[in-house]
Amino acid sequence: MTTEEAARAVTESPVVILPAGAFEQHGPGMPLATDTIRAEQVCRLVAAELAGRAVIGPSLPVGVSPHHLAFAGTVTLTTTTLATVVREYVDSLHRHGWRKILVVTGHGGNNATLSTVAQDLLVTHPELQFAWTPLTPLASDVVAGMRVSEVHGHSGEAETAQMLHLAPHLVHEDRLTAGSARTADLDPLSRLARRSGHPALAVPYDRLSANGVLGDPRSATAADGRAIVGAAVASITAFVKEWLDI
Ligand SMILES: [Zn+2]
């Protein structure tokens, strides 16, 4: 978009969608930018559904990934830095007149920071509406119906399926390798950390999984990925359509 197009978009497209991701290990078969790629593609599909009523802003390509730093290539921001960057994106967009901003994050490690920013914006920008969402949890029904390992998650069946659908040319299918896929594969501290619910316990990924993978990405299919992405896009689109009318 040009600056003149952006000026018109403030009224024609009152929602700005910001894709957020991470630059972190995704096992032996997927790129470091996996989360950013998924977020950008989903935002593009949502914007297409909204037929000009939303614009996509600049991506947040590096997220909060200290738990992956033991693996080469991972680049992380601290939570305070990501919060500052998100706030400064929002400040700029707010200055131009946008009042509805949605962050779509492909990386769960950003969730806590986005939630913190949302609370702070209630005080600093009371006229602004700030929303954020993770991706894969929007499709938990789809994932529940898939063939997944007892332990699955990062770079596992569901995430690999999304990449096989959205960016198959970036998946090295011949290098996909199972990681920690059974509870028995986890050491006692990791088992406690992976137990669902709270208290929450943070452990680094090199402790959870020797190759950085949770689950078995070899059983991922593009068809499952299409179903996950479709559910996420439908959910976000429905939210924004309702939001636009308020
Ligand atoms: Zn990821």
Domains of the chain (ranges; CATH) run: 3-136+144-234 (3.40.50.10310)
CA 146–ligand 1 middle distance (angstroms): 18
CA 109–ligand 1 middle distance (angstroms): 9
CA 87–ligand 1 middle distance (angstroms): 23
The predicted structure's pLDDT at residue 89: 98
Here the tokens at position 41 are 């593609």
* Cα separation, 199 vs 8, whole angstroms: 48
CA 233–ligand 1 middle distance (angstroms): 17
CA 159–ligand 1 middle distance (angstroms): 7
Q: How would you write 124-171 as a 3-class SS string?
A: HCCCCEEEEEECHHHHHHHHHCCCCCCCCCCCCHHHHHHHHHHCHHHC
The predicted structure's pLDDT at residue 197: 84
Which parts of the chain register pLDDT below 70?
none
Q: What is the CA radius of gyration of the chain?
A: 18
Q: Write the pLDDT tens digit of every residue in 116-167.
A: 999 999 999 999 999 999 999 999 999 999 999 999 999 999 999 999 999 9
CA 6–ligand 1 middle distance (angstroms): 31
